[in-house]
A and B are shown apart, each in its own frame.
Chain A
């Protein structure tokens, strides 16, 4: 600057010559953490990932992202017990993100708009047998097909869906929704054989020249309990009642229906009975908080007029009545008889005491081990017999649709690896993004959107779907409540709050980089990162 007065006048921005990064004792680094929703999802969905696209209003991309892991968002959005929402960090702020409702919205949008699942680019030439067209089997079919394998599903029943159809009343899962998502998998080129029971798995595999098999038979056999009863007493099991709802002949239960049990099936059956004009009473031996059924379902059932007798067991069933004994909880929380009895009028008793799987097809499989009514599998979901995998209700696990769907995915990945002669290794999990890692100040106050509920009168008398869906604006709102725990969502906070302009913004979708030439290591970026995606680590000298 020869023309400017010496030292008095300086050229702009020349301080770039001064690399203040040398002051640093700690450096910020960008990290990705595992959001608790993803961590919890039995189906292994990248919930935060698909919400990200939904937040932008790009629902098809969100759906595509979602269905990478789970092909049934419309079903999930209705029947999943959404443990993700229980884990959601937002729950500690106001209310969890309504992940389930957004998922349903995406699923419904996909059906409405006819979005298609991705088909494989290359065929592997391998053929996989799947036994059972329930959530686990159809999930596996989808994933294996995506991976390029030929898939044949053999189903004993007349329709696709398994327990999704025969275990869940239509007021919770309308059948057109179920059919749409099942058929979409079939449309990928999955072969289905209905009304076909596999009696000997190895024989069927050999006959069909299958390279591997995935066993996904549902728990359709009701558990029985001994109840002294008269001859004319009408005692049926819940699975049969629910199954018969799908056929032509509706079950005849009478007006006063006693449902015995405290699980979700008990609730389903009671609510179904209510819709058929009955006055159902659930008899359960423990208290409400001990009831295995989900509380919201209990609440909905009670709203609809289902009566519940807590702390009661059935001692005797007569022709038109039953005798129950009152129970009390001991200090360990177990129910103990009190010797006090009561008589309830009853036209029928429905037993909802749990179900077992029919394992007859496995009788002659070498190496395969069965214990406590379920098949033992290794970490890769393979049974003791090479090439035979199992999942869903058949293996030791909690039983619900989402877990089944997750098993299908996991099995598919392992089957795929096995077919290629390798072993599937899941990518390492990031550290979970816990609530204290977040700076929640930055999130707008936004209470959860309440999904519309059907009028109580209609709920008591029809099988119309109880819970409505979100419309686009509410779905968008709900998606945008996501905190993006542990993963940069490009809020620009680090870029903005750096007093030294030492954060480089790389552009939409490309996130940021630190400019360590100037970063002094003050830690403000990490402190003010809303989602905990920046870590401060000591400089190594």
Chain B
């Protein structure tokens, strides 16, 4: 059923349709509307047989999820940014224990400086945590990925993070197609745990493992993610059969057939990029887009297959590995390194801390890339004046003061007018 609603609410609806049994969350922008939504549905009896727990921290949220999942309950939580970092220890624990928890991450930057706006630093910081990470391009996809995530998680006994851009998606009202309960039930069977705390068949879960077996345990986690590379497209196929639309999968190519330049990105920015690409295509530029949906496991084969005929890739990512550069870009390069494929690759850091990524900037960027006139590492719309001013200040003064506050002062003349 088509509805015009907020992304957060759409996700809440999707979670509700998945018949969750335990939901726990601690509020953090921009995740709040999701948990407010599911919380209200539980309280109102719209979601039955479900316990909604207001916990005292994200660390507790993930911990409660660990407990309930290990006891065989379908478990959901959501977080963002600092919240994700606050629960990190438990995040690793959940995946290490193989507990099929589904968690929405309403992607937001990580401080300091504190910043509530969107980028992907939070999820990406957990790329090695052993969680599956799926990135939604639209609210429709966010909704659909949650349904797929429960099935994926439970089949593999691995937790899944559904990543959606904070504010840009979570707070955007747009058209979504809400599936029926019958459709979801047909797709998602009840949770059959692989391991469970059961008084009639007691087991010890979470024992200490020493050097004699730890590598094997870690390898098996990797092996499961490799299985996910097969399972994710399979589930997307099943999903299409029941729901009638393409959603999920590993990667999503757009106009890449004969593209000389392929832009690779994740999340909602793909829409702006596609609009830009369409305009450039209209102008005769051979450019395409590859959206990465599954960041973990990273679909090396699928990415390579999609880009192998291109001359160059421009990896545009909303995250930044300080001291080296791109993260998604590094993974993309791994996909073709050693395969005898000659592709130029450019890393573009964009949209950090909610900086708008505009078509105008993208046009300029892609045109430069098309001329191979782009530095290997580019910061989109970086205000060099501000940066240089601060660097100058630091060169001159020992006590140059806090950088972020200086920069804010420097840019304050332009800070007020737009969001």
- In this complex, which of A6, A7, A12 has the most chain B Cβ atoms within 10 angstroms of its Cβ? A7
Within 8 A of B (CB), among A1-42: 3-12
Contact, CB under 8 Å: B98 / A8? yes
Residues in A with CB closer than 8 Å to B209 are 7-8
Contact, CB under 8 Å: A7 / B207? yes
Least CB distance, A119 to chain B, in whole angstroms: 59
Give Cα distance in the complex from A3 to B209, angstroms: 18
Least CB distance, A2 to chain B, in whole angstroms: 11
| Contact sample, A vs B, 16 pairs, CB 8 Å cutoff | A4-B194, A5-B157, A5-B194, A5-B220, A6-B216, A8-B96, A8-B97, A8-B98, A8-B195, A8-B209, A8-B217, A9-B203, A9-B204, A9-B205, A9-B207, A10-B203
Residues in B with CB closer than 8 Å to A6 are 213, 216-217, 220
Residues in B with CB closer than 8 Å to A5 are 97-98, 157, 194-195, 220
Q: Mark B311-347, 1 if CB is under 8 A from A, else 0.
A: 0000000000000000000000000000000000000
8 nearest CB pairs, A to B = A10-B204, A12-B202, A9-B195, A7-B209, A7-B213, A5-B98, A7-B217, A9-B203
Contact, CB under 8 Å: B195 / A10? no
In this assembly, does B284 line the interface, its C-beta being within 8 Å of a C-beta of chain A? Answer: no
Task: Using CB atoms, name the residue of chain A closest to B203.
Answer: A9
- In this complex, which of B202, B203, B205 has the most chain A Cβ atoms within 10 angstroms of its Cβ? B203
Residues of chain A at the chain B interface (Cβ within 8 Å): 3-12
In this assembly, does B206 line the interface, its C-beta being within 8 Å of a C-beta of chain A? Answer: yes
Give Cα distance in the complex from A12 to B201, angstroms: 9
Residues in B with CB closer than 8 Å to A4 are 194-195, 203
Least CB distance, A13 to chain B, in whole angstroms: 9
Contact, CB under 8 Å: B204 / A3? no
Give Cα distance in the complex from A9 to B157, angstroms: 13
Asked if A11 meets B207 with Cβ closer than 8 Å, knowing A6-B213, A6-B217, A6-B220, the reply is no
Residues in A with CB closer than 8 Å to B202 are 12
Task: Using CB atoms, name the residue of chain A closest to B207.
Answer: A10
Residues in B with CB closer than 8 Å to A9 are 195, 203-205, 207
Secondary structure call for the B interface: loop
Contact, CB under 8 Å: A12 / B204? yes
Residues in B with CB closer than 8 Å to A3 are 194
Residues in A with CB closer than 8 Å to B207 are 7-10
Task: Using CB atoms, name the residue of chain B closest to A13.
Answer: B202
Least CB distance, A447 to chain B, in whole angstroms: 48
Give Cα distance in the complex from A6 to B214, angstroms: 10
Least CB distance, B92 to chain A, in whole angstroms: 13
Task: Using CB atoms, name the residue of chain A closest to B214.
Answer: A7
Task: Using CB atoms, name the residue of chain A closest to B205.
Answer: A9
Least CB distance, B124 to chain A, in whole angstroms: 26
Task: Using CB atoms, name the residue of chain B closest to A3.
Answer: B194
Give Cα distance in the complex from A10 to B195, angstroms: 10
Residues in B with CB closer than 8 Å to A10 are 203-205, 207
Give Cα distance in the complex from A10 to B194, angstroms: 13
Residues in A with CB closer than 8 Å to B217 are 6-8
Give Cα distance in the complex from A68 to B284, angstroms: 119
Least CB distance, B202 to chain A, in whole angstroms: 4
Give Cα distance in the complex from A4 to B220, angstroms: 12
- In this complex, which of B97, B202, B204, B209 has the most chain A Cβ atoms within 10 angstroms of its Cβ? B204
Within 8 A of A (CB), among B120-166: 157
Q: Mark B80-107, 1 if CB is under 8 A from A, else 0.
A: 0000000000000000111000000000
Least CB distance, A230 to chain B, in whole angstroms: 100
Residues in A with CB closer than 8 Å to B98 are 5, 8
Least CB distance, B242 to chain A, in whole angstroms: 29
Contact, CB under 8 Å: A7 / B216? yes
Task: Using CB atoms, name the residue of chain A closest to B157.
Answer: A5
Give Cα distance in the complex from A11 to B202, angstroms: 7
Give Cα distance in the complex from A435 to B191, angstroms: 64
User: Contacting A11 at CB < 8 Å: which of B194, B203, B216?
Assistant: B203
Least CB distance, A531 to chain B, in whole angstroms: 37
Least CB distance, A33 to chain B, in whole angstroms: 43
Within 8 A of A (CB), among B190-234: 194-195, 202-207, 209, 213-214, 216-217, 220
Least CB distance, B113 to chain A, in whole angstroms: 39
Least CB distance, B237 to chain A, in whole angstroms: 27
Give Cα distance in the complex from A4 to B96, angstroms: 14
Give Cα distance in the complex from A102 to B110, angstroms: 82
Residues in B with CB closer than 8 Å to A11 are 203-204
Task: Using CB atoms, name the residue of chain A closest to B210.
Answer: A7
Contact, CB under 8 Å: B194 / A12? no
Residues in A with CB closer than 8 Å to B214 are 7
Task: Using CB atoms, name the residue of chain A closest to B195.
Answer: A9
Task: Using CB atoms, name the residue of chain B closest to A15.
Answer: B204
Contact, CB under 8 Å: A8 / B216? no
Least CB distance, B212 to chain A, in whole angstroms: 9
Give Cα distance in the complex from A4 to B216, angstroms: 14
Task: Using CB atoms, name the residue of chain A closest to B97.
Answer: A8
Least CB distance, B67 to chain A, in whole angstroms: 15
Give Cα distance in the complex from A517 to B220, angstroms: 35
Give Cα distance in the complex from A7 to B203, angstroms: 12
Known: A9-B205, A12-B204. 9 other contacts (CB 8 A): A4-B194, A5-B157, A5-B194, A7-B217, A8-B98, A8-B205, A9-B195, A11-B203, A12-B202
Task: Using CB atoms, name the residue of chain A closest to B220.
Answer: A6
Residues in B with CB closer than 8 Å to A12 are 202-204
Residues in A with CB closer than 8 Å to B206 are 8
Give Cα distance in the complex from A343 to B207, angstroms: 96
Give Cα distance in the complex from A304 to B369, angstroms: 126
Give Cα distance in the complex from A6 to B207, angstroms: 11
Residues in A with CB closer than 8 Å to B204 are 9-12
Give Cα distance in the complex from A8 to B205, angstroms: 6
Give Cα distance in the complex from A269 to B383, angstroms: 124
Least CB distance, A16 to chain B, in whole angstroms: 13
Task: Using CB atoms, name the residue of chain B closest to A6.
Answer: B220
Least CB distance, A262 to chain B, in whole angstroms: 76
Least CB distance, A538 to chain B, in whole angstroms: 33
Give Cα distance in the complex from A171 to B134, angstroms: 102
Residues in A with CB closer than 8 Å to B194 are 3-5
Least CB distance, B224 to chain A, in whole angstroms: 10
Give Cα distance in the complex from A356 to B98, angstroms: 96
Least CB distance, A375 to chain B, in whole angstroms: 76
Residues in B with CB closer than 8 Å to A7 are 207, 209, 213-214, 216-217
Give Cα distance in the complex from A29 to B247, angstroms: 72
Within 8 A of A (CB), among B225-275: none
Give Cα distance in the complex from A12 to B214, angstroms: 20
Give Cα distance in the complex from A12 to B206, angstroms: 13
Least CB distance, B66 to chain A, in whole angstroms: 12
Give Cα distance in the complex from A518 to B45, angstroms: 54
Give Cα distance in the complex from A11 to B198, angstroms: 12
Give Cα distance in the complex from A3 to B192, angstroms: 13
Least CB distance, B27 to chain A, in whole angstroms: 31
Give Cα distance in the complex from A9 to B202, angstroms: 10
- In this complex, which of A3, A5, A10, A11 has the most chain B Cβ atoms within 10 angstroms of its Cβ? A5
